[in-house]
Structure 1
Amino acid sequence: MDPDQDYSFEAELWRSGAANASWYFLTVPVEISQQIRFMASKTKGFGSIRVRSAIGDSRWNTSLFPDKASGCYFLPVKAEVRKAVAISVGDRVSVELRIG
Structure 2
Amino acid sequence: MKWNPNRMGATLRLCGGSLRIRSVNVRSPTLLRMTASYVFEGELFRWAARREKWLFVSLPEDVSAEIAEFPAPPRGFASLRVDVTLGASTWTTSIFPGGDGRYTMPVKRSVYERQGVDEGDTVQVSVRLLDVG
Q: TM-score of the superposition, structure 1-length normalised? A: 0.90
Structure 2 unaligned runs (5+)? 1-32
Structure 1 unaligned runs (5+)? none
For 2:49 and 2:101, how far apart are their aligned partners in 1?
Answer: 23
The one-letter code of the counterpart of 1:53 is V
Q: Which of structures 1 and 2 has the larger relative contact order (alpha carbons within 8 angstroms, sep 6+)?
A: 1
In structure 1, the partner of 2:90 is 59
In structure 1, the partner of 2:79 is 48
In structure 2, the partner of 1:71 is 101
For 1:83 and 1:65, how far apart are their aligned partners in 2?
Answer: 23
Give the CA deviation at 1:20: 2.4
Size of the alignment, in residue pairs? 99
For 2:54 and 2:124, how far apart are their aligned partners in 1?
Answer: 19
RMSD: 1.7
SS of 1:40's partner is coil
Give the CA deviation at 1:22: 3.2
For 2:91 and 2:72, how far apart are their aligned partners in 1?
Answer: 23
Percent identity between the two aligned chains: 36
SS of 2:75's partner is coil
Deviations 1:2-55 (A, max 9, x none): 522110100000001356233210010110001111013333112100000001
The one-letter code of the counterpart of 1:94 is Q
SS of 2:113's partner is helix
SS of 1:39's partner is coil
The one-letter code of the counterpart of 2:93 is T
For 1:26 and 1:64, how far apart are their aligned partners in 2?
Answer: 10
**1:31 is matched with which residue: 62, 66, 69?**
62
For 1:48 and 1:33, how far apart are their aligned partners in 2?
Answer: 12
1:97 matches 2:127: yes
For 1:35 and 1:98, how far apart are their aligned partners in 2?
Answer: 13
1:83 matches 2:113: yes
